Structure formats: structure tokens, C-alpha cells
Amino acid sequence: MSSNLEQTEQRIKKVIADTLKVDESLVTKESTIADLGGDSLAALRILSALEQEFDISLSDEDARKIDSVPIAVEVIQSILVTQK
């Protein structure tokens, strides 16, 4: 994984952990928002926090895809690449 992807992943993990008020070590590639105790309202808060963290706007389609760290990394990296 490139350092850019690693940085994106770390930032996403921190946003999820901070939003759900869980230890960042619990946020793994395998865990979903639901696994970490998040519900649909928490998911919306996470999406909003991700938009702020990365200064992006998630489409409804992209927002519906994001339920885990790897998918969030994929979606956000895709948006960041197209913004350049």
C-alpha cells in the first residue's frame, strides 16, 4: 500500500473511531460501522465527518457504498484523484 493510501486509511480510521467514541485499534479493515456499534445515524455522522476531513462531497451513491474502512478508502481515493 502506498503511503498516500496508508495516510487516507489512518485518517478514515481516526474519523470513525472519534465519531463512534471507540478505541482506534478496534477499527480494522474487517470491521463495519455496525460491528463497531454504529447505527444509521452514526453512519451519517461518519459520512459528514469524512466529507469535512477530506474536504470532499460524497454523492448519495458513494455514501451508500461506504460501510467499512477499505470501501471508504477506495471511494475517497477515487474522489481525491478526480479532484486533482
So what's the pLDDT on residue 2? 67
Residues with catalytic function:
39
Q: Half-sphere exposure of 69 toward its Cβ, with a 13 Å CA cutoff?
A: 23
Q: How many other CB atoms are there within 10 angstroms of residue 57's CB atom?
A: 10
So what's the pLDDT on residue 23? 97
Q: Specify the length of the chain in residues.
A: 84
So what's the pLDDT on residue 52? 98
Q: How many other CB atoms are there within 10 angstroms of residue 55's CB atom?
A: 8
Q: What does pTM read for this prediction?
A: 0.91
DSSP E strands, the chain: none
Where does 3-83 sit in CATH, by number?
1.10.1200.10
Q: Where are the domains of the chain?
A: 3-83
SS3 state at 7: helix
So what's the pLDDT on residue 12? 97
- Positions in the chain short of pLDDT 50: none
